[in-house]
Structure formats: structure tokens, C-alpha cells
Amino acid sequence: QESTRIYTREEVKSHSSPETRIWALYAIHNQSHVREILAQYKIGELSPEEKAPSTLKTSDPYADDPIRHPALKVNSQCPFNAEPPPELLTENYITPNPIFFTRNHLPVPNLDPDTYRLHIVGPPGGHSLSLSLDDLYQFPKHEITVTLQCAGNRRSEMSQLKEVRGLEWSTGAISTARWAGARLCDVLAQAGHQLCENEAHVCFEGLDSDPTGTAYGASIPLTRAMDPEAEVLLAYEMNGQPLPRDHGFPVRVVVPGVVGARHVKWLGKVSVEPEESHSHWQRRDYKGFSPSVDWDTVDFDSAPSIQELPVQSAITEPKDGEMIESREVTVKGYAWSGGGRAVIRVDVSLDGGLTWQVAQLDGKEQRPGKAWAWRLWQLQAPVPAGEKELNIVCKAVDDSYNVQPDTVAPIWNLRGVLSNAWHRVHVWVAP
Ligand code: MTE
Ligand code: MO
């Protein structure tokens, strides 16, 4: 259409509708390709004197973040960090993509799958690769079920004891998906990389960056990256769909059994280096310390970066403070351990840990050494006669017989990571 009539703000306002407000709220629509689609509906322009300075809205680096599912409990809007509520978390063994927990440090990049390239730095004498999505699809497609957990899962229990620095995650900074992609070892081999004697690390860089241009980054040991049995993926599918933007579209790393921080999203670059990634998130974060270490005494160089996570479990039903109306109580939850260690048992107590019952583990038996995904579990038990309240507790055991600590105090640390004490829920019994 050719019409270029000039309108005043007053005239536009007289035609304002709820749709125009939605347009402003969901900044995702404010993109060039959407503008192209809308061009055919253009009826005119605002009078030049009345045009607002256009830099205001677009200077918000989060304006282009995707739309999220309303059921998520938001711990931080910008950057976006959110977890599913407990009752939804264990409703399905595979977490549906829209409620998979999200942990972003920076704005979500908006990457064009047609021009996307993954840069693989080759070894001296090898060759560097610049891989399009189609190039990645040429590698054998590998699909595995992997649970991803943030190091800060259950941090809020640590901060209840004593202040920590970090997002207030409840029990939901953990989710499970079917991931599909190329194996990292296949791609590294094509670039000419081999396992070497010296200690070496595979460094990953994301395409998300802060205003100074610093990208998110992390690394894993080369031995894990080159081990076909470790099944490290350059994933382009999540539950049969292209990765959602929040989870790394178009390509992310999936490192089974390893802390979420190493599963770098929006992957731009992979290189093999003699040292760990120099990223802040590899060197100055995601490490564990003694409870007595504070921000004046902490020495980040003294502690190894977190890779494999310890054994973990939590109760998702009933909820803390709930009233139990029937004579039987159903307790549900999840259990998982790092490094491919399988959960072999979950113990549940209704009396704060004095007596225990063994919960029923749902789902498939797992492959030895490759138990990358959680087990959901449940226990149905009669409510002990005469009780007015129950102190429900759960704890898991993995196949190395690792167990969870009973309280949080001895594992408290200033960053609130690795929070895996027995999970406790207090409920009332209806008279
Ligand atoms: N990758 C990039 N590029 N940027 C990030 O902020 N966050 C990491 C990791 N990969 C992050 C990233 C952290 S700390 C976690 S726990 C996981 O992504 C979360 O993955 P999810 O958002 O898909 O659940
Ligand atoms: Mo994380």
C-alpha cells in the first residue's frame, strides 16, 4: 500500500486497543522480519514532530528475550532465571520444553540458523572447521536422556541458614530432556584432535555477551570430551524439537553427569587449550569452599571448578505446610547423581529421620556408569496414628554408596552451591 498519511498522536490514541499494549509488553515482536510482514498493513506515519526518540526501547538489551511459560517461578527477570513449581517438575519423567528450568547470565542472543557457524579451532597441524547447521547434521546423530542441574539448585536452603550470594533457587533448578546432536568427540576428531598426554581442556564460548563484549564461557577436561562413552553432545534438538531460544538455539553443549554451567548454550566456538577456560564462570564462580571461608578470605584459585555433581534428591509432593486430609500420605520426588552414577535407593522418613521406608523408584533401570538421568520416586504410606504433623525427609544413595549430608550447616558455602542435604518438608495432619 502506498498511503503515507500523517497522523497525530491524538488520532492514534483514539484507535488504541489491548493489542497495541501487548505489542509493547512482548518486545519479541519488535524485529525486522515481523516489521516486513506488517508493512502491508501500514496506513501512514506519525507526524515528524511527534516521533519519540526511538533509542529508548531498543537500548534495553533484554527487549528481544523470548516469551516464557507463565507457570515458571521467576527468580530473576533480566537475565531470565526461572524454575518450574515442584508439582509440575515431577509430573513427567521428561520435562516439557516450556517449563524446563532456565538459567541465563546474559540477554538471549537471536541467532539466524542459516548464517550460524560453529567455529572449531584445530590443533597445530590440523585444520579448523567452520560448521553450518547442515554440516553438523552430517555427523552421526546421537540421542540420550540427560538431567541438567544448576550448581545453585536448592540454594535457598543455604541462605536460610546464613546469607549467600546467588539466585534464590528452590528445588527446581533441575530438569530432564532427550537431547540429540553430534558427539563432540566425532567433531573434534574431524578437526584432527587426538587425546594427548598433557592435561588439556576443551573450552566453549557462547554467543551471548555482556555490554563489553565478554561472552559466556566454560571448559571440561579433554579426556571427557574425547571419550565416546562420556557421550558429550553438540546438541541441536531437545525433546524432538529444535532447541528453544532460552536453551541455546541453535546449538548447545550437553555434558552428561556434569554441572549445568558447563553445558554452554548458543555455542559459537570450541577450542582445545592447555588450561581451563579463563571465563569468570570457570575460574571465579562454580567452586565449593569450607563453611568458614568468607568473601575476605576466599581464594578461588585454590579450589577446583565443579564438574561432576554429588548425589541429590528432593521431595516435590506434598508441599511444605500442606494439610494431609486422608489416612495415607503419598510422597513424590526426584533423585539424581553426577558422573553417570545411578541412584540405587531413596529412603523416606515421616518422623524427621528416626525411622525410614524405602521409596519405589519409577522408570527404567539405567546403564552402568551412564546413568545420566534422574529417577522419579514415590512412597505411599499410612499416616502414623495420633500424629498431628509429619516431618517428611528424603535422602538418596548412588551406586558408589555416596549419601547426602543430613543438614546444610556443614556444607554451607558463600556462593550457596552444591546444596544437597536431606530434603525436609513439614506437613499437618487433618484431625
Ligand atoms: N551458556 C551460555 N552461553 N550462557 C549462560 O548463561 N548458563 C549455564 C549453562 N550454559 C549459561 C550457559 C548455566 S549456569 C546453567 S545451569 C545451564 O546453562 C542452564 O541451562 P538451561 O537454561 O537450558 O536450563
Ligand atoms: Mo548454573
Residue 225, in any domain of the structure? yes
- Confidence at residue 58, expressed as pLDDT on a 0 to 100 scale: 58
With 60 as the cut, is the pLDDT of residue 158 above it?
A: yes
Question: Does 289 share its domain with 393?
Answer: no
User: Ligand 1 pocket: which of 68, 95, 105 to mutate (most atoms <8 Å of CB)?
Assistant: 105
Q: What is the pLDDT of residue 52?
A: 55
What mean pLDDT do residues 149-178 have?
97
Same domain, 249 and 341: no
Report the pLDDT value the prediction gives residue 198, as an integer from 0 to 100: 75
Q: What's the confidence (pLDDT) of residue 59?
A: 81
pLDDT tens digits for 97-152? 999 999 999 999 999 999 999 999 999 888 999 999 999 999 999 999 999 999 99
Q: Does residue 280 share a domain with residue 411?
A: no
Q: What is the mean pLDDT of residues 422-427?
A: 98
Report the pLDDT value the prediction gives residue 308, as an integer from 0 to 100.
Answer: 98
Residues of the chain with pLDDT > 90, as a percent, come to 81
- Cα–Cα–Cα angle for 319, 320, 321, rounded to 5 degrees: 110
The ligand minimizing its distance to the Cα of 146 is: 1
- Residue 68 domain flag: no
CA 8 – ligand 1 centroid, Å: 45
Asked whether residue 348 is domain-assigned, the answer is: yes
Residue 297 sits in the same domain as residue 321: no
Do 43 and 146 reside in the same domain of the chain?
no
Q: How many Cβ atoms from other residues are within 10 Å of residue 226's Cβ?
A: 20
User: Are 276 and 418 within one domain?
Assistant: no
CB 367 within 8 A of CB 428: no
The boundaries of the domain holding residue 26 are: 5-58
64: in domain = no
With a threshold of 0.95, tell me whether the complex ipTM lies above it. yes
Buried b (16+ CB within 10 A) or exposed e, 177-194: bbbbbbbbbebbebbebe
Boundary-marking domain end, from 267, 302, 337: 302
Ligand whose nearest atom lies closest to the CA of 99: 1
pLDDT confidence of residue 44: 72
Clarify whether residues 289 and 373 are in a common domain: no
86 and 175, same structural domain?
yes
pLDDT band for position 17 (cuts 50, 70, 90): low
Q: How buried is residue 397: exposed, middle or buried, by Cβ count under 10 Å (0-12/13-18/19+)?
A: buried
Residue 124: its pLDDT value, please?
Answer: 86
Instruction: Quote the pTM value.
Output: 0.87
- Is there a domain that residue 284 lies in? yes
For residue 106, tell me if it sits in a domain. yes
Residues enclosing ligand 1, CB less than 6 A? 100-106, 148, 150, 206, 208, 216, 246-247, 260-261, 263-266
In this prediction, residue 16 has a pLDDT band, given cuts at 50, 70 and 90, of low
Q: Which residues of 228-256 are buried (b: 16+ CB within 10 A; e: fewer)?
A: eebbbbbbbbbbeeebbbbbbbbbbbbbb
> Are the C-beta atoms of 118 and 234 separated by less than 8 Å?
yes
Of 324, 216, 199, the C-alpha closest to 264 is 216
8 has pLDDT over 80: no
> pLDDT tens digits, residue range 269-287?
999 999 999 999 999 999 9
Pocket test for ligand 1, best of 101, 103, 262 (most atoms within 8 A of CB): 103
Number of domains in the chain: 3
Nearest CA to ligand 1 atom 17: 260
- Candidate from 104, 147, 203, 280 with most ligand 1 atoms within 8 A of CB, to mutate: 104
pLDDT digits (tens, 9 = 90+) for 225-280: 999 999 999 999 999 999 999 999 999 999 999 999 999 999 999 999 999 999 99
Nearest 5 degrees, angle CA 346-CA 350-CA 351? Answer: 120
The predicted structure's pLDDT at residue 222: 97
Q: Residues 187-205: pLDDT tens digits?
A: 999 999 998 877 899 999 9
- pLDDT tens per residue, range 297-336: 999 999 999 999 999 999 999 999 999 999 999 999 999 9
Rounded distance from Cα 4 to ligand 2 centre (Å): 50
| 294 and 326, same domain (yes or no) | no
Are residues 82 and 46 part of one domain?
no
Does residue 244 sit in the same domain as residue 167? yes
Are 283 and 332 contained in the same domain?
Answer: no
Q: Which residue has the cell 582445545?
A: 272
Distance 340 CA to ligand 2 centre (A): 19
63 CA from centroid of ligand 1 (Å): 19
Q: In three state form, how does the secondary structure of the chain look?
A: CCCCEEECHHHHHCCCCHHHHHHHHCHHHCCHHHHHHHHHHCCEEECHHHCCCCHHHHCCCCCCCCCCCCCCEEEECCCCEEECCHHHHCCCCCCCHHHCCEECCCCCCCCCCCCCCEEECCCCCCCCEEECHHHHHCCCEEEEEEEEECCCCCHHHHHHHCCCCCCCCCCCCEEEEEEEEEEHHHHHHHCCCCCCCCCCEEEEEEEEECCCCCEEEEEEEHHHHHCHHHCCEEEEEECCEECCHHHCCCCEEECCCECHHHCCCCEEEEEEECCCCCCHHHHCCCECCCCCCCCCCCCHHHCCECCECCCEEEEEECCCCCEECCCEEEEEEEEECCCCCCEEEEEEECECCCCCEECEECCCCCCCCCCCCCEEEEEEEECCCCCCEEEEEEEEEECCCCECCCCCHHHCCCCCCCCCCCEEEEEEECC
Query: Of the candidates 302, 335, 365, which is a domain's last residue?
Result: 302
* Residue 136 domain flag: yes
